[in-house]
């Protein structure tokens, strides 16, 4: 069982804070550190810091020693696949083989519009994702790559050095039953689901993944199951209630509104309640969790989780 922390670099963290959070996660015994791939996120992008994900990963690769490093998940349309393959290989080299490669089709239209990046239909974005993964894997393994797809053309492309890992594990994010999970079955090392899906929906998604694996002659159990969880923890119910009050104040909303906005699908409450939530997913076969703790309680919450929950589940 592996646990990583997701650092919400879009909430306004400067680099020194991100680095401290990553080093603290390593000290606490988390297995990995993940960065969000956004150029901006909320309604105040002109005033809120949002550092570019792959640049941050490269910096963290030179500062950390044991945690694995990844994006949850890279937006495929932000970068041409050949360039992304080169960037990823570079981070894997800098980190001495600690890259976790998360990728998805992309979903945030306003970022694309703001940066002049085309935002085609869902079908086209997924077709592009599939071609990109093929190109990236070839550049990581083959000495010279030529590829002619519907959207991407590559001719005699070289990428040296190769990743330290023979193939960095590929985490494919998304809940699309017919296309996304078929891409996972054919190319992914891990599927990645988020806390927005209910337990019933997750069970249905896994059944669909199993079906796609049969179609492409892939062993279902060869694909790891990872889950992005949002966690808010208090050692006692009283402590949890006090924490929610502090969080609501920090976000400038009432407690009831904070619960509605942030805790509807979160793993929240006392350690026993949170362990039970994780155990439900473990029983379904999930073996890797990426956890985001609520800003601005990232430090205290990661430490509380490590102290109260992490060792019990690992």
Cα separation, 66 vs 83, whole angstroms:
26
Nearest to 32 by CA among 54, 52, 60: 60
Rounded to the nearest 5 degrees, what angle is found at the Cα of 198, between the Cα atoms of 193 and 203?
Answer: 70
Query: Are 72 and 6 a contacting pair, CB within 8 Å?
Result: yes
Question: Where in the chain does DSSP place strands (E)?
Answer: 2-7, 32-35, 68-71, 74-75, 99-104, 145-148, 153-157, 170-173, 190-194, 224-233, 267-269, 288-292
Q: Which token pair is 270?
A: 């006392």
Give the pLDDT confidence score for residue 43 in this predicted structure: 67
Burial (CB < 10 A; 0-12, 13-18, 19+), residue 259, is middle
The domain spans of the chain are 2-233+267-313
The residue count for the chain: 314
Give the pLDDT confidence score for residue 296 in this predicted structure: 85
pLDDT tens string for the chain (314 positions)? 999 999 999 989 999 999 999 999 999 999 999 999 999 987 677 888 999 999 999 999 999 999 999 999 999 999 999 999 999 999 999 999 999 999 999 999 999 999 999 999 999 999 999 999 999 999 999 999 999 999 999 999 999 999 999 999 999 999 999 999 999 999 999 999 999 899 999 999 999 999 999 999 999 999 999 999 999 999 999 999 999 999 899 888 999 999 988 888 899 999 999 999 999 999 999 999 999 998 888 999 999 999 999 999 98
For residue 164, give Cα distances in angstroms to 103, 144, 205, 272.
Answer: 19, 18, 33, 40
Give the pLDDT confidence score for residue 314 in this predicted structure: 86
3-state secondary structure of 304: helix
Q: Which residue has the tokens 């892939």?
A: 218
Nearest to 293 by CA among 262, 249, 270: 262
Q: Which residue has the tokens 């102290």?
A: 307
Give the pLDDT confidence score for residue 280 in this predicted structure: 97
Q: Which residue has the tokens 């279902």?
A: 220
Cα separation, 133 vs 188, whole angstroms:
9
Does domain 2-233+267-313 correspond to CATH entry 3.20.20.30?
A: yes
Cα separation, 167 vs 161, whole angstroms:
13
């Amino acid at each position: 069982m592996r646990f990583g922390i997701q650092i919400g670099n879009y909430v306004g963290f400067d680099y020194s804070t991100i680095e401290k959070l990553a080093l603290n996660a390593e000290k606490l015994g988390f297995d990995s550190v993940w960065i969000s791939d956004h150029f901006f996120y909320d309604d105040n992008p002109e005033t809120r810091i949002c550092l570019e994900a792959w640049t941050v990963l490269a910096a963290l690769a030179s500062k950390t020693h044991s945690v694995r490093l990844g994006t949850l998940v890279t937006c495929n349309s932000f970068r041409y696949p050949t360039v992304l393959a080169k960037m990823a290989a570079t981070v894997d080299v800098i980190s001495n083989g600690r890259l976790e490669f998360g990728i998805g089709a992309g979903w945030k239209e306003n970022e694309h519009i703001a940066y002049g990046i085309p935002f085609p239909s869902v079908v086209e974005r997924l077709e592009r994702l599939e071609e990109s993964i093929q190109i990236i894997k070839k550049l990581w393994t083959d000495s010279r790559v030529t590829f002619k797809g519907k959207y991407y053309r590559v001719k005699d492309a070289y990428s040296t050095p190769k990743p330290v890992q023979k193939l960095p594990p590929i985490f494919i994010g998304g809940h699309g039953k017919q296309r996304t999970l078929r891409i996972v079955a054919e190319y992914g090392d891990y599927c990645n689901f988020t806390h927005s899906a209910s337990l019933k929906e997750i069970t249905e998604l896994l059944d669909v993944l199993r079906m796609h694996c049969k179609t492409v002659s892939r062993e279902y159990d060869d694909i790891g199951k990872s889950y992005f969880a949002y966690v808010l923890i208090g050692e006692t119910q009283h402590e949890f209630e006090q924490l929610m009050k502090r969080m609501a104040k920090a976000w400038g909303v009432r407690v009831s509104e904070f619960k509605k906005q942030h805790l509807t699908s979160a793993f929240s409450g006392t350690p026993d309640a949170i362990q039970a939530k994780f155990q439900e997913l473990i029983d379904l076969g999930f073996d890797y969790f990426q956890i985001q703790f609520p800003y601005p309680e990232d430090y205290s919450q990661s430490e509380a989780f490590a102290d109260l929950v992490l060792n019990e589940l690992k």
